[in-house]
Structure 1
Amino acid sequence: MSAKLIATLLLVVAAGAVAAPKAGKPSAPGKYAKVNGLELYYELHGSGRPLILLHGGLGSSGIFGENLRALAKHRQVIAVDLQGHGRTADIDRPLSVELMADDIAALIKHLKLGRVDVMGYSLGGGVALQTAIRHPAVVNKVVAISAVIRRSAYHSEILEQQGQVNEGALEMMKQTPMYQSYVEIAPRPQDFGRLLAKIGEAMKQDFDFSKQVAQIQVPVLVMAADSDLFPPSHAVEVFGLLGGGKRDGGWDGSGRPKSALAILPGLTHYNIFADPRIVSTTLPFLDEAAR
């Protein structure tokens, strides 16, 4: 199995979007919060209404690059490194979107933020949705980018390949920018193989959060690439569970649902997080008064 294939399976960032490592380990510009047994790393950018920003698998808060800076011109962005990723060291528990959602809710309470908007890509999008499901009292709005809510929604070739991900891929992954970026900032660089094993195990687990998503009460922006890891119809399905697409919106927009749907053209799972359209699509949704 090639390193390129592994990178595809892991739902991670495009190789070209990760900076090459620098000599020596850079100092951390952010802070740590002790939550749920984790030393959870986060950075504060900008000012204004708070927005939690969550990366994808094998990434870190730095993957958003210019988009993070663009969001920070309008919001106080709290960019988090999830369990076992970036500058947040792993602990002895599985990787799951539910447990990571609990971490985000604990961070929100730790920072005394009240109700906040939560925006996530891929793995982070799943965590954002779970935060709204499990901790509705701390969530105002959700932006879920390239996130699936049931395993069977992935394209068949992705499902077939997911079973090949394990710690044995470590040597191949050492040639990729994902590995190089990880060891540059991770508290324990030797844990990369462990992270691969945990992600591989998580990807083998079946899941279907349709019923839980249908119970979400806050507005959700469902966003996907038109050539994502799943067909656009899955994003439409999620939108429908949230009350979208049930009737005509009306000439004055009065029939619109409180949630929204955006399928961005000409993009894939591996470049949507870096496209400026995610910012230009997200900000009007977050700024709109609740319907």
Structure 2
Amino acid sequence: MSYADVNGLRLWYESHGDGRPLVLLHGGYGSTEMFVPIMPALARRRRVIAVDLQAHGRTADVDRPLLYETLADDVAALLGHLDLPSAELLGYSLGGGVALRTAIQHPALVRRLVLVSTPCRQTGWYPEVLAAMAAQDERVGEQMRGTPPHQLYQRIAPRPQDWPRLWAKSGDLLRRAYDWSDEVARLAIPTLLVFADADSIPTTHMAEFYGLLGGGHRDPGWDGTDRPAARLAVLPGHTHYDIVSAPALPAAVLEFLTHQVDATA
């Protein structure tokens, strides 16, 4: 457990297990603690490196906005700090957007990519979810005082008084329009998309995202030779808010990370 000085930021990370590096990127208003339920299973097969993104958890905020692109550059810089030529990435929700941008901006650094409950464009969320995101600001942050996420932040954040600032910056990020469809369609990195069957993302967007990665266009043949490199998993009985602790998630992730894609995978 340590800090890496990257891009003017003291970025918190912790490492568990041995093997190929797998970087975990948490969801909004969260921290590495989001992965506690699945960390042991992943660390049995991988060197798991969990990160607290800018302004989250044990990583203090700095004087710059929260942007998927700069957060992705922080992840790339962390890999350089750790002398890792490449890694597998798993991102959930906000962290999924960061993982996707890392793969887009730094493709040579990403061996395989796992995106959990993550759209590839802003309008990939249900309209009511977008409306809730648009309303997030310091006032909403004040209303969230005393909740479990706030209690954790109070306990681990370097500056607990920055809680309202986190909500203000996160609101700016979540209101920002984006559509990475064209860049996703050009990705050559093996990618696993994981969603809940009652996610905050409609199944139509799940299918669209998978299609951009080459999935769902044809029958793979009786021997599977025409199956795409991308994979899609929909976990039953879960929502956007509990999927990251689903017992089925590590099994789906590890099967994807260890299956043979080609001679160099």
In the superposition, the TM-score normalised over structure 2's length comes to 0.97
Instruction: Spell out the pairing of 1:154-173 with structure 2 (5 A cutoff).
Output: 154-173=125-144
Q: CA deviation at 1:196?
A: 0.3
> What is the aligned partner in structure 1 of residue 72 from structure 2?
101
Aligned-partner Cα distance in 2 for 1:244–1:71 = 26
Q: CA deviation at 1:163?
A: 2.3
- The one-letter amino acid paired with 1:85 is H
> What is the aligned partner in structure 1 of residue 238 from structure 2?
267
User: Secondary structure of 1:66's partner?
Assistant: coil
Q: CA deviation at 1:160?
A: 2.1
In the superposition, the TM-score normalised over structure 1's length comes to 0.88
| Runs of 5+ unmatched residues, structure 2 | none
Aligned-partner Cα distance in 2 for 1:283–1:162 = 32
Residues 232 and 263, structure 1, Cα contact 8 Å, conserved in 2: no
Q: CA deviation at 1:250?
A: 1.5
> What is the aligned partner in structure 2 of residue 135 from structure 1?
106
Asked if 1:145 is matched to 2:145, the reply is no
Asked if 1:237 is matched to 2:224, the reply is no
RMSD across aligned C-alpha pairs, in angstroms?
A: 1.0
Runs of 4+ in 1 over 6 A off after TM superposition: none
Equivalent pairs: percent with the same residue?
Answer: 51
| Runs of 5+ unmatched residues, structure 1 | 1-29
Q: CA deviation at 1:106?
A: 0.6
Residues 55 and 63, structure 1, Cα contact 8 Å, conserved in 2: yes
Aligned-partner Cα distance in 1 for 2:142–2:182 = 40
> Could you list the per-position Cα deviations for residues 245-288 of structure 1 after superposition, in whole angstroms to 9, with x for gaps in the alignment?
11111221111111100111111000000001110100011001
> What is the aligned partner in structure 1 of residue 255 from structure 2?
284
Aligned-partner Cα distance in 1 for 2:33–2:129 = 26
Q: Out of 156, 180, 191, which is 1:209 matched to?
A: 180
Q: Out of 153, 157, 170, which is 1:186 matched to?
A: 157
> What is the aligned partner in structure 2 of residue 18 from structure 1?
none
Aligned-partner Cα distance in 2 for 1:256–1:77 = 29
Aligned length: 262
Asked if 1:57 is matched to 2:28, the reply is yes
User: Secondary structure of 1:128's partner?
Assistant: helix
User: Secondary structure of 1:89's partner?
Assistant: coil
